[in-house]
Copies of this chain bind each other. A is one copy, B any other.
Amino acid sequence: MADSAFPATPSLRAAGMRQTPQREGILRVLQDSDRPLTVEEIWERMPERRSGLPTVYRNLERFVQEGWAESILGSDQVMRFVRCDSRHHHHLQCERCGRTAEVDACGLEASLRHLEELSGFTITRHQLLLFGLCRACRAGA
């Protein structure tokens, strides 16, 4: 479900980047994970010839710019990364196991229009972070 919404492999070439094993590895790791990962976790999971940590940092930064990944600061104050496409969406994260789901719509539009009237602001952008318990953890709890 979530996979079918994710574009094939982000095209490094089309984005003007060279296609290197390190970049493919990072994208693969993000692709294969169903929860946000720290930079170090991504690094540890990279195929065989483990790359340097700076390379992971540098590329994650570019991937975020391209909209292929997103950084999330958890309530533990640790930065983690998730793959995502560039459409508007939000992440719903399980507080027990860390698993995430991507949510396409947020149904906020009407509320935002109302808030604009109240506040005098023109709202151009928003970020919504959702936390809860996934089905499996609720059942197991």
Contact = CB atoms under 8 A, between A and B. Distances in A.
Interface of A: 71, 73, 77, 92, 94-95, 101, 103, 106-108, 110-112, 114-116, 118-135, 138
A15 to B, nearest CB: 21
Contacts of A118: 103
Contacts of A110: 107
Contacts of A131: 123-127
B101 A107 contact: no
Contacts of A135: 120-121
A122 B94 CA distance: 9
B133 A124 contact: yes
A73 B79 CA distance: 11
